[in-house]
């Protein structure tokens, strides 16, 4: 737990590992020692096909992505906006199963040397059996999970299993999150904190402004973990803005949008355009 | 946010973090309102002046005799303003919205009944209003869309997923996570994250409280069985709550049997064996889902019962066996509706007709000294397109074809 | 048969000889019922259990403020079973039919509202039922025809004359003169030969009796003005009768101004100067007729007010100036309806919207200490085809065109 | 008024004139002295045109009709069945006015040597002015009126004017009419009593049976006036049945039906087929 008596961490500080740092957190801290802003991308497994998912991951890793969220498709992705929603639906329509997602994820963690997280909704874990799900994550080398509809209050079984496995359960800070609530979330999280840069679902525009800088500053003050910023990051400009204010920039819907509009092969140049020094 | 709102293992609040404080605020407002007798009084006043509460109990004289068993009584929620029990919940949430100082309401709707009720409430309270409705339902239920728009509501056709009720709920949540500051989501049934199941049931309990007293006044005894259809479960919870502590009253919930047991085309979560426990749309209950937890397509002749989940409180009452669950098939439902129309001059909504169908099946086996009570949750006259299709009325088709031809002619002529 | 049923020079019973004894029987039955307190009690019980009487009074909070004058209250006849005040009259006549030992009822209908109410009553009482409806109206009002048929009524499309309400009345009389032995003609408004105007007004007086007490309970005083639309005059007579002896209450009847004064396309018999006294359909009153006494075509956006004659009692009250008559034009009526929907969440029938239109015109000139009461005689949601046409909703047209295409496709595919 | 103490008139008796016999009654009694059953026909003035009406009257008179009802069209003919109803509507649609009806009637009474009656609804009289209407009848030689929607209780002004002018107000007996009511009607009538052979509107079938004979016997017992029988008479057989039971057979709708189906020229042969000895 963060030592509350310390002077406030400033965005400029390179984050320090917390006592019980998970492998994911450690990776991020190590990487941050080399790079001032990491890049995390997001794909929906099985969209448009599992083969394509594999190709996109390969391209992304080659383009220099530092870590990735793999979304296991769910039929009711209530926190996702139109782009990811559609990707979920299409993947399921094409027959994607949870088992196939595990299988692909296992291959990816074996093949690529970056951390992968699962992002999915709680029902996927629940129907699989939460402990079984976490065990499977361990087995196939997944380092963390983001389950947007599972607040800590409902997630005791999940949190226990994740902590026991030294995996990272990632929670989300939003512009509505109060200070005490941030503390609760922080206490229940590992790996990093995912801050969403605005209200709303994934895939909508965010104004990258002083407000946002202030908000990130507040987030920083309430967690001992690295900070990822998501929801609406989609250009080189956005990324530059975040440099020095967060540890990880998350590009989610925009990659899928590129994939959808310009095809699988356009993903790599897009990511490169974001990361090029 | 606390871990609460559970009914044995069912319920909870599985919500995106961004709504955490919104739910805290809602729960606080709800608890304060519930603990404030003035609030319930204000609610009763509103319902007795804006709608026609207490709604009456009607005895089905002809059918009681024809069926030759129990005396059949009907709780007339169809007489409510906007034609269904939905308005009870909506008006309550309207008062709560005002209390919370919010200025905009959103809602999902399947058949359109809850959408019309919400748009009505918004017009009455002066709120902005957006209604999410599956694109399929928008196409099927244009009359309701028409009235919502006339009330000033924006109706958004949801083109995601199966384009029906559950997708409309997801979409409403998507709106809410963006606009929670000024917006209240007036969920339409006793489902969703805590405190919705409890809160909606509370507002709907006005049905059961009235009905219990009315049956006593009318017959001197409690009814032996009470029947309610079960979509999300709000009208059932409303009626049942009046009799929950009367152990001698059997409570019967009737789900949409669609094309029947084993057909895979139904929406019976508790009466059939196809549903399993899951978590979606913010709460834990029985869902019609596959082994991975993906929600499955459901089917019912009545849009209002055509839903994958069910109130967590009802799942609990199912497990404790306090409520018996049955399912009525589309065919039986249409027949029960037609029979009620012809023999009694009442026009139960297709949803409500599920309860009638089951009651008609059981009443003849009961003694004439026994009484049963059916919840007529709504009237069908707004669903004429659906009903006319369900009974395949050729004159209706001709009428629509002629009407269309006239419109096309006018379009041509400028 | 005696020379009676006159209100100054209006009224009477100008009936074919063959109905003389039928009218004697009806009058006797009516007078006996009226003098029998148990009958009225039975009627009240029926109306409070089968419909939702007493219907409430709703205050238009938003429009009272917007218009900035009198406080506007609305008597909610729209909440009645079948959606209008028509059911009050019909259920009363149903009880009377039973008393007379008859087994069949017939009725005329314009918009279909009275036809639906009568078919409902027949289903409830187990009577055979035939409804006469102008062929034009059958074409326009298919939803109502659909429900009448579902209730088991035979709907006869009248192809004579102008194919609207007055022709349906003639045709109902033609049925009656053949089948009077087992048949009662449940006339739908306060018109026709004695004792219909008085009897229908008596049944409808339930509206005014309730409303007077409700206004006193609610506001402590009588309303300053009360408004009702006037087709045949039954809802107006019903409301007005509650305040007839309260000289300080101004009674305002609002007729169908159609395309306006001087247009020749309206149904304003008392508010404009186009009508003259005549005798038709069995009674003497003001009619829209030519110099020879031939009835003229009338026009109104609302089928229920589109009628050549008017209650003889209202003609009398017009001459004695107890009631002030105004007319609202189609355009003002549609605007008033839309305004009421949008600002209050109430959907007044186009007929009722005439009363709203006039009230909205006058309320701003009154003081905020004054109260007015509008009779909302029915709801418009059954008239969606008419309303959608009146406001020319393009989405509705598209919906109908698509629906028709789907039907045609199914027809093709067998 | 009929002397109630006299022995009952039997159908076989040729009717005797009552003290205040109107010219119409007198005509009927005189004619009955020569013929055991008179024939009255009915047309709607102005249907299909006033010229046609004139031609039909001419043909009918030539064919041996004894008296005629001329119906002034009205927009709401509540007591008429579909055939006459339609004729009313068509005449009005073609522009028929009451004035034109008067004008044609005046010509007909001048030209043809049989009595003519007006049949119409009360509003036509009322709007014209009842006294003026009756005076006009006198002026143009109309001998009586049938106003089916004007019971004596509502018709004081009309009856006074008719009696004063020595014209015949004809009233109707129906199978529902009680004995006291028959007396009232009888007292208020002149010329003849129109008995309708069954319930219902004009133009429908009547069963010519023993019941009918009994009914006519009852009618006979309650009036001092000649008896006409209408509603449903349409064949030689019907007419033969009525012989000896009534004084006048009325053929109404059937002529209009013939006119409609076979044209104006078919009316004469039809009437001849009924009257031929
Ligand atoms: C008339 C009616 N009854 C029942 C239902 C089902 O909802 P619930 O189970 O919440 O009562 C609906 C839903 O639209 C409805 O419109
Ligand atoms: C809702 C409504 N209001 C008013 C009327 C007019 O009739 P009345 O003047 O008899 O009340 C009708 C007739 O159909 C009606 O349906």
Give the tokens for residue D95: 């522009």
Question: What SS3 state is found at B275?
Answer: coil
**Stretches in chain A below the pLDDT threshold 50:** 1-16
Distance in Å from the first CA to the final CA of chain A: 35
Q: How far is CA C395 from the centre of its chain?
A: 30
Query: Would you call D126 and C3 a contact, using CB atoms and an 8 Å cutoff?
Result: no
Instruction: Count other Cβ atoms within 10 Å, centred on residue B336.
Output: 24
Lowest mean pLDDT among B63-77, C145-159, C388-402: C388-402
| DSSP H or E run through B197 | helix B196-219
Q: Does C160 touch chain D (CB under 8 A)?
A: yes
Q: What ipTM was estimated for this complex?
A: 0.92
Please indicate whether, in this complex, the C-beta atoms of C21 and D200 are within 8 angstroms of each other: no
Q: How far is A67 from chain B (nearest CA, A)?
A: 23
Instruction: Give contacts of B120 with chain C, Cβ < 8 Å.
Output: 345
Nearest CA in chain C to D179: C21
HSE of B396, CA atoms in CB hemisphere, 13 A: 20
- What is the CA angle C139-C143-C149, rounded to 5? 95
Q: State the pLDDT confidence band at D135, using cuts at 50, 70 and 90.
A: very high
Query: Can you give the residue ranges of every domain in chain B?
Result: 2-48+85-193, 53-83+197-389
- Chain C contact set for B146 (CB, 8 A): 384, 388, 393, 395-396
In angstroms, what is the C-alpha Rg of chain D?
17
- Beta carbons of C194 and C11 less than 8 angstroms apart: yes
Radius of gyration over every alpha carbon of chain B, rounded to an integer in angstroms: 20
**What is the whole-number distance in angstroms between the Cα of residue C73 and the centre of ligand 1?**
31
**Residue A173 with chain B: CB contacts under 8 Å:** 17
Of B49, B345, B408, the CB nearest to C401: B408
Rounded Cα distance between D102 and A134, Å, is: 104
pLDDT of residue A18: 56
For A225, other C-beta atoms within 10 Å of its C-beta total: 30
| Cβ–Cβ gap D148/C160 under 8 Å | no
Q: How far, in Å, from the CA of B199 to the mean position of ligand 1?
A: 16
* Separation of alpha carbons A39 and A19, rounded Å: 24
Which letter does DSSP use for residue C297 in this model?
P
CA-nearest residue for atom 4, ligand 1, is B351
Q: What is the pLDDT of residues C330-368, one digit of tens each?
A: 999 999 999 999 999 999 999 999 999 999 999 999 999
Indicate if the pLDDT at residue D206 is higher than 70: no
How many DSSP H helices and E strands does chain B contain?
Answer: 15, 14
Centroid of ligand 1 to alpha carbon of B217 (angstroms): 27
**How far is CA A105 from each of CA A96, A109, C29, D34, rounded to the nearest angstrom?**
13, 6, 86, 118
Assigned token pair, B136: 């399929």
> Is there an interface between C and D (3+ Cβ pairs < 8 A)?
yes
The rounded distance, in Å, linking the Cα atoms of C306 and C255 is 9
Q: Mind listing the pLDDT tens digit for each residue in B238-286?
A: 999 999 999 999 999 999 999 999 999 999 999 999 999 999 999 999 9
Interface of C with B in 72-91 (CB under 8 A): 76, 79-81, 83
**Total count of residues recorded for chain D:** 277
CA of A64 vs chain B CAs: smallest distance (Å): 30
Which chain B residues are Cβ-neighbours of A178 within 8 angstroms?
21
Cβ–Cβ under 8 Å, residues A83 and A253 = yes
Q: Are B147 and B124 in contact (CB under 8 A)?
A: no
What is the bridge-based pairing of β-strands C10-11 and B10-11? unpaired
Residue C140's pLDDT is 77
Tell me: the pLDDT tens digits for D53-98? Answer: 999 999 999 999 999 999 999 999 998 888 899 999 999 999 999 9
Q: Is the pLDDT of residue C1 over 60?
A: no
When pLDDT is cut at 50, 70 and 90, the band that residue B149 belongs to is: very high
pLDDT of residue A19: 59
Least confident stretch, A167-176, B156-165, C292-301: B156-165
- Active-site residue, from A69, A186, A238, A254: A69
Rounded CA-CA distance C85/C348 in Å is: 12
pLDDT digit string, tens, across residues B104-141: 999 999 889 999 999 999 999 999 999 999 998 888 78
**Measured CA distances, B187 to A115, B87, B281, B282, C96 (Å):** 39, 12, 11, 12, 47
Given a contact cutoff of 8 angstroms between Cβ atoms, the answer to whether B160 and B147 are in contact is no
Q: What is the pLDDT of residue D9?
A: 36
Question: How many whole angstroms separate alpha carbon A42 and alpha carbon B97?
Answer: 37
What three-state secondary structure class fits C312? helix
Return phi, psi of residue D274, to 5°: -80, -35
Beta bridge partners, D99, equal none
Domains of chain A (ranges plus CATH)? Answer: 23-275 (3.20.20.70)
Q: Note the pLDDT tens digit of each residue in C193-220.
A: 999 999 999 999 999 999 999 999 999 9
* Cα–Cα dist C169/C157, whole Å: 12
pLDDT tens profile D171-194? 999 988 999 999 999 999 999 999
pLDDT exceeds 90 at position C412: no
Task: Provide CB contacts within 8 A for B217, sequence distance 6+.
Answer: none
- What is the distance between the alpha carbons of residues D168 and D117, in angstroms, rounded to a whole number? 9
C231 close to C113: Cβ distance less than 8 angstroms: no
Nearest ligand to residue B355 Cα: 1
Distance from Cα B203 to the centre of ligand 1, integer Å? 14
Find the helix packing angle between B330-344 and C113-125, rounded to 10°.
90
Check residue A13 and give its pLDDT.
41
- Beta-sheet strands, E only, within C340-403: 371-376
DSSP H stretches of helix in B50-128: 61-67, 86-99, 113-125
CA A117 vs CA A41, A142, A168, A191, A250: distances in Å: 10, 6, 9, 10, 13
Return the higher-pLDDT residue of C320 and D215.
Answer: C320
| C98, C345, C380, C409, best to mutate vs chain B, most B CBs in 10 Å | C345
pLDDT value at C174 more than 60: yes
Q: What is the mean pLDDT of residues C95-124?
A: 96
- Has residue D158 got a pLDDT over 70? yes
Residue from the list B55, B126, B400 with its beta carbon closest to the beta carbon of C403: B400
CA of A272 vs chain B CAs: smallest distance (Å)? 31
Q: Whose CA is nearest to atom 1 of ligand 2?
A: C378
Across the interface, of B2, B16, B166, the residue whose CB is closest to A148 is B16
Report the chain C residue with the minimal C-alpha distance to residue D74.
C294
Angle between helices C142-150 and C113-125 (to 10 degrees): 10
**D-chain residues near C282 (CB < 8 A):** 78, 149
Query: Worst-scoring range by mean pLDDT, A22-31, B52-61, C48-57, D3-12?
Result: D3-12
Q: Is the CB of B234 under 6 A from ligand 1?
A: yes
Bridge partners of B252, per DSSP, are B227, B324
B262 with B294: CB under 8 angstroms?
no
The mean pLDDT of chain D is 89
3-class secondary-structure state, position C160: coil
Q: Could you tell me the CA-to-CA distances from D18 to C56, D2, D156, D226 in Å, in that order? A: 66, 7, 22, 10
Orientation of helix B142-150 relative to helix C330-344, angle to 10°:
90
- Looking at residue A208, its pLDDT comes to 65
Q: Is C232 in the pocket of ligand 2 (CB under 6 A)?
A: yes
Distances (CA, A) of C71 to B95, B352, C116, C259, C394: 22, 38, 34, 29, 36
Name which of A45-54, B157-166, B333-342 the model is least confident about.
Answer: B157-166
Domains C2-48+85-193 and C53-83+197-389 fall in the same CATH topology: yes
Q: How far is the CA of B303 from the centre of ligand 1 (A)?
A: 9
B295 and chain A: CB distance < 8 Å anywhere?
Answer: yes
Q: Which residues of C are catalytic?
A: 86, 108, 377
Chain A interface includes B28 (CB < 8 A): no
Q: Is 3.40.309.10 the CATH classification of the domain at B53-83+197-389?
A: no
Give residue for tokens 């969920």.
B187
Distances (CA, A) of B46 to B40, B78, B292: 10, 17, 46
Residue among B174, B292, B295 whose CB faces A97 most closely: B292
Q: B351 is written with which tokens?
A: 């949803």
Chain B residue closest in CA terms to C341: B151
Q: How far does C283 lie from chain D, in Å, by closest CA?
A: 10
Residues of B serving a catalytic function are: 86, 108, 377
- The encoded tokens of residue B11 equal 């319920």
Mean pLDDT computed over every residue of chain C? 95
Percent share of chain D, pLDDT over 70: 89
B62 touches chain C (CB under 8 A): yes
**What CATH class is the domain B2-48+85-193?**
alpha beta
Residues 238-257 on B with a CB inside 8 Å of C are: none
Beta bridge partners of A67: A40
| pLDDT classification of C102: cutoffs 50, 70, 90 | very high
CB count, 10 Å around CB of A33? 10
Query: Do the Cβ atoms of C279 and D172 come within 8 Å?
Result: no
Ramachandran quadrant class, B112 (left: phi over 0; alpha: psi -120 to 50; beta: rest)? left
Res A1: pLDDT? 35
Q: What percent of chain B has pLDDT over 90?
A: 88
| pLDDT recorded at residue D19 | 60
Of C121-135, C226-240, D17-31, D53-67, minimum mean pLDDT range:
D17-31
Distance between CA B401 and CA B390 in Å, rounded? 17
A118 touching B, CB under 8 A?
no
pTM tops 0.80, yes or no = yes
Q: How many residues does chain A have?
A: 277
Our measurement of the distance from residue B134's CA atom to the centroid of its chain's CA atoms, rounded to an integer in Å, reads 16
- How does pLDDT run across B303-329, given as a tens digit for each residue? 899 999 999 999 999 999 999 999 999
Q: Does C52 reach chain B within 8 Å, measured CB to CB?
A: yes
**Cβ-contact A251, A233 below 8 angstroms:** yes
Q: Least CB-CB distance to B292: which of A79, A98, A173?
A: A98
Mean pLDDT of D126-147: 98
Q: Which 8-state DSSP code applies to residue D193?
A: E
Minimum CA–CA partner of C124 in chain B? B344
Residue nearest (by alpha carbon) to ligand 2 atom 12 = C304
Determine the residue of C377, C379, C381, C383 to mutate for testing ligand 2's pocket, defined as the one with the most ligand atoms within 8 A of the Cβ atom: C377
What is the model's pLDDT at position C219?
Answer: 98
Query: Band of the pLDDT at D5, cuts 50, 70, 90?
Result: very low
CA distance C336 to A46: 55
Q: Is C114 in the pocket of ligand 2 (CB under 6 A)?
A: yes
At C266 the pLDDT is 98
Cβ-based neighbour number of residue B259 at 10 Å: 15
Confidence of residue B98 (pLDDT cuts 50, 70, 90): very high
Does residue B232's CB lie within 6 angstroms of at least one atom of ligand 1? yes
CB-CB under 8 Å, B281 with A124? no
Cα–Cα separations (whole angstroms), residue D243 to C68, D8, D38, D201? 80, 19, 9, 23
Eight-state DSSP code of residue C2? -
Confidence label for C3 from pLDDT (cuts 50, 70 and 90)? low
What's residue D253's pLDDT?
82
Task: Name the nearest CA neighbour of B281 among B205, B204, B197, B351.
Answer: B197
3-state secondary structure of A138: helix
Contact yes or no for C374/C359 (Cβ under 8 A): yes
**Tokens at B272, concatenated:** 């059939």
Nearest to B237 by CA among B54, B408, B38, B88: B88
Q: What is the pLDDT of residue B414?
A: 62
Task: Give the model's pLDDT for residue A221.
Answer: 95
Residue range C121-136, pLDDT digits in tens: 999 999 999 999 999 8
For residue A227, the model assigns a pLDDT of: 97
Q: Are C and A neighbours with ≥3 CB pairs closer than 8 A?
A: no
Tell how far the Cα of B211 is from the centroid of ligand 1, in angstroms. Answer: 18
């Amino acid at each position: 737990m963060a030592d509350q008596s310390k002077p406030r961490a400033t965005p400029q500080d390179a984050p320090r590992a917390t006592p019980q740092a998970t492998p994911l957190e450690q990776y991020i801290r190590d990487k941050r020692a080399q790079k001032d802003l990491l890049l995390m991308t997001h794909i929906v497994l099985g969209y448009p096909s599992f083969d394509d998912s594999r190709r996109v991951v390969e391209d992304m890793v080659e383009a220099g992505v530092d870590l990735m969220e793999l979304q296991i498709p769910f039929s009711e992705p209530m926190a996702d906006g139109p782009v990811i929603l559609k990707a979920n639906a299409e993947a399921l329509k094409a027959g994607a199963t949870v088992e196939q997602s595990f299988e692909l994820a296992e291959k990816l963690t074996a093949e690529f040397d970056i951390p992968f997280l699962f992002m999915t909704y709680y029902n996927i874990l629940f129907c699989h059996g939460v402990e079984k799900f976490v065990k499977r994550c361990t087995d196939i080398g997944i380092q963390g999970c983001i389950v947007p509809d599972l607040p800590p209050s409902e997630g005791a079984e999940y949190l226990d299993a994740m902590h026991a496995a030294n995996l990272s359960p990632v929670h989300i800070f939003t512009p509505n999150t109060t200070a005490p609530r941030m503390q609760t979330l922080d206490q229940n999280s590992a790996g990093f904190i995912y801050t969403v840069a605005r209200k709303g679902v994934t895939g909508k525009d965010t104004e990258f402004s002083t407000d946002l800088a202030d908000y990130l500053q507040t987030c920083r003050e309430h967690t001992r973990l690295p900070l990822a910023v998501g929801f609406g990051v989609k250009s080189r400009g956005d990324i530059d803005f975040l440099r020095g204010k967060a540890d990880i920039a998350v590009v989610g819907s925009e990659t899928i949008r590129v994939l959808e509009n310009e095809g699988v092969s356009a993903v790599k140049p897009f990511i490169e355009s974001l990361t090029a020094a | 946010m606390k871990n609460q709102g559970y009914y044995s293992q069912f319920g909870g609040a599985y919500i995106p973090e961004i709504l955490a404080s919104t739910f805290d605020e809602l729960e606080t407002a709800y608890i304060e309102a519930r603990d404030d007798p003035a609030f319930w009084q204000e609610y009763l006043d509103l319902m007795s002046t804006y709608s026609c509460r207490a709604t009456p109990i009607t005895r089905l004289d002809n059918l009681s005799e024809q069926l030759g068993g129990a005396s059949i009584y009907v709780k007339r929620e169809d007489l409510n303003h906007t034609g269904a029990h939905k308005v009870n919940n909506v008006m309550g949430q309207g008062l709560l919205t005002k209390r919370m100082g919010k200025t905009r309401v959103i809602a999902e709707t399947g058949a359109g009944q809850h959408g019309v009720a919400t748009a009505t409430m918004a017009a009455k309270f002066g709120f902005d209003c957006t209604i999410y409705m599956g694109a399929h339902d928008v196409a099927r239920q244009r009359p309701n869309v028409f009235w919502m728009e006339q009330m000033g509501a924006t109706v958004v056709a949801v083109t995601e997923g199966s384009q029906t009720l559950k997708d409309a709920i997801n979409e409403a949540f998507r709106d809410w996570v963006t606009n929670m500051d000024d917006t209240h989501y007036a969920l339409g049934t006793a489902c969703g994250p805590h405190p919705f199941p409890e809160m909606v049931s509370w507002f709907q309990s006005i049905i059961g409280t009235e009905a219990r007293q009315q049956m006593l006044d009318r017959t001197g005894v409690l009814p032996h069985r009470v029947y309610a259809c079960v979509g999300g479960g709000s009208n059932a919870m409303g009626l049942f709550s009046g009799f929950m502590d009367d152990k001698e009253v059997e409570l019967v919930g009737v789900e949409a049997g669609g094309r029947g047991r084993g057909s895979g085309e139904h929406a019976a979560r508790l009466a059939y064996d196809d549903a399993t426990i899951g978590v979606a749309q913010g709460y834990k209950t029985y869902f019609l889902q596959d082994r991975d937890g993906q929600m499955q397509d459901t089917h019912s002749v009545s849009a209002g019962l055509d839903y994958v989940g069910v109130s967590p409180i009802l799942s609990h009452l199912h497990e404790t066996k306090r409520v018996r669950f049955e399912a009525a098939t589309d065919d039986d439902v249409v027949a029960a509706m037609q029979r009620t129309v012809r023999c009694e001059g009442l026009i139960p909504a297709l949803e409500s007709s599920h309860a009638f169908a089951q009651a008609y099946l059981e009443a003849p086996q009961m003694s004439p000294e026994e009484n049963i009570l059916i919840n007529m949750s709504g009237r069908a006259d707004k669903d004429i397109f659906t009903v006319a299709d369900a009974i395949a009325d050729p004159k209706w088709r001709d009428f629509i074809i002629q009407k269309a031809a006239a419109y096309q002619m006018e379009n041509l002529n400028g």
